[in-house]
Amino acid sequence: MAGVLLTVLSLLLGLPGAAGAAATRHAPEPRHPGQDWAGSQIARHEGTAAGLPPAAPSPAASVEGVDVSSHNGSVAWSTLWNSGVRFAYVKATESTSYTNPSFAQQYNGSYNAGMIRGAYHFATPDTSGGAAQATYFVNHGGGWSRDGRTLPGALDMEYNPYGATCYGLSAAGLVNWMKDWFATYKARTGRDAVIYTSTNWWKQCTGNSTAFGAVNPLWIPRYGSSVGELPAGWGFHTVWQYTSSGPTVGDHNRFNGALDRLRALANG
């Protein structure tokens, strides 16, 4: 009887306990997904370009890109194209309930301007399983086609905007969640997805796992003069998000290779 009363009291007061622990595995749906984009939490936890050395000049074998989400609204794609931007990643989804209201203008607009484009999913591993979120992503803009100008989807793994940094999961739990996401995405599209993550978050939340480096291309944020240390498992990066305060839209990226290699990634 005492145990029952304690459980009820825990539920009423939000105290930890067996029921509370179970609830953390299925957190409430995102509260402000329009404010979450690739790097929003990196900037909050690791700093922005302010006070850091500027990024090194773009090497000859690189391609300029941007990433956008609903917080960018209607994007001036022709302005970006004229400035030399040749690819874009667009946020499509978050969890299994949110779709970017600006997705069509951003995803189709970048394509119509001549760019190679791709979609990404902002992960919230405490709200639903990896397979469910990958399925939602594919069904809401994250698919892939061999048209030569569509990049494989990307999974954005970064600091939790809503609570515990690592989403209340162990390192093994997070790694297994990502494995489910990637396996489901590949089963649906035939492609191995890109992963967006920072070295600091990766070390803290996955134990610096080496499970994905041989297969999933790395998109890494670091707002400084170089890409810096990579997470374990990767010998090189594919995309570097080098600033959160670039022209026209804040987040600018460099593909680590020439344009023909970017097209090769799009073609699979």
**Mind telling me the catalytic residues?**
67, 156, 158
Give the other-Cβ count within 10 Å of 15's Cβ.
Answer: 12
User: Which residues have CB under 8 Å from 104's CB, separation 6+?
Assistant: none
Quick one: tokens of 162?
Answer: 């809503």
Q: Are 71 and 37 in contact (CB under 8 A)?
A: yes
Q: Are 167 and 174 in contact (CB under 8 A)?
A: yes
Amino acid identity, position 228: G
- Could you give the CA distance from residue 42 to residue 243 in angstroms, rounded to a whole number? 11
Which residues sit opposite 118 in a β-bridge? 89
Q: Are 46 and 220 in contact (CB under 8 A)?
A: no
- Could you give the CA distance from residue 41 to residue 205 in angstroms, rounded to a whole number? 14
Q: Are 194 and 239 in contact (CB under 8 A)?
A: yes
DSSP states along 80-137: HHHTT--EEEEEEEETTTEE-TTHHHHHHHHHHTT-EEEEEEE--TTTS-HHHHHHHH
